[in-house]
A and B are shown apart, each in its own frame.
Chain A
Amino acid sequence: MGPSGTGKTTLLKLISGQLKPDSGSIMINEQNVHQLSRKNLYALRQKMGMLFQSGALLTDMSVYDNIAFPIREHTALPESMIRTLVLMKLNAVGLRGAKDLMPSELSGGMARRVAMARALALDPEMIMYDEPFTGQDPISLGVLVKLIATLNQTLQLTSIIVSHDVQETAAIADYIYLLSAGKIAGQGTPEELYSSDSAWVQQFMQGKPDGPVPFHYPAQDYQNDLLAH
Chain B
Amino acid sequence: MKFFHSIGQISLQSLAKLGRSTLFLSAIINSLGYPLLRPKLLIRQIYSVGVLSFWLVAISGLFVGMVLGLQGVYTLSTFGAESSLGIMVAASLVRELGPVVSALLFAGRAGSALTAEIGLMKTTEQLSGMEMMAIDPLKYIIAPRFLAGFISLPLLAALFSAIGIWGGYIAGVELLNVDVGAYWSQMQSAIDFYDDIVNGIIKSIIFAWIITWIALFEGYDATPTSAGISRATTKTVVNSAFAILLFDFLLTALMFGTS
In angstroms, how far is the closest chain A Cβ from the Cβ of B129? 3
Q: Is B134 within 8 A of A18, CB to CB?
A: no
Q: Is B134 within 8 A of A53, CB to CB?
A: no
Question: What residues on B are CB-neighbors of A118 within 8 Å?
Answer: 133
Indicate which residue in A43, A53, A73 contacts B133 across the interface (CB closer than 8 Å).
Answer: A73
Q: At the interface, yes or no: B9 with Cβ under 8 Å from chain A? A: no
Q: Is A56 within 8 A of B125, CB to CB?
A: yes
In angstroms, how far is the closest chain A Cβ from the Cβ of B66? 38
Question: What residues on B are CB-neighbors of A73 within 8 Å?
Answer: 133, 135
Indicate which residue in A18, A54, A57, A59 contacts B132 across the interface (CB closer than 8 Å).
Answer: A18
Q: Which listed segment binds B: A44-52, A88-96, A142-150, A215-223? A: A44-52
In angstroms, how far is the closest chain A Cβ from the Cβ of B144? 13
Q: At the interface, yes or no: B128 with Cβ under 8 Å from chain A? A: yes
Indicate which residue in A43, A50, A54, A70 contacts B124 across the interface (CB closer than 8 Å).
Answer: A54
Q: Is B129 within 8 A of A56, CB to CB?
A: yes
Question: What residues on A are CB-neighbors of B13 within 8 Å?
Answer: none
Q: At the interface, yes or no: A177 with Cβ under 8 Å from chain B? A: no
Question: What residues on A are CB-neighbors of B128 within 8 Å?
Answer: 18, 52, 56
Q: Is A45 within 8 A of B132, CB to CB?
A: yes
Question: What residues on B are CB-neighbors of A70 within 8 Å?
Answer: 133-135
Q: Is A56 within 8 A of B135, CB to CB?
A: no
Q: Is A69 within 8 A of B133, CB to CB?
A: yes
Can you list, as one digit per residue, whether each of B105-142 has a CB less than 8 Å from chain A (1) or not (0)? 00000000000000000001110111111111000000
Question: What residues on B are CB-neighbors of A180 within 8 Å?
Answer: none
Q: Is B125 within 8 A of A52, CB to CB?
A: yes
Within 8 A of B (CB), among A23-65: 42-43, 45-46, 48-50, 52-54, 56-59
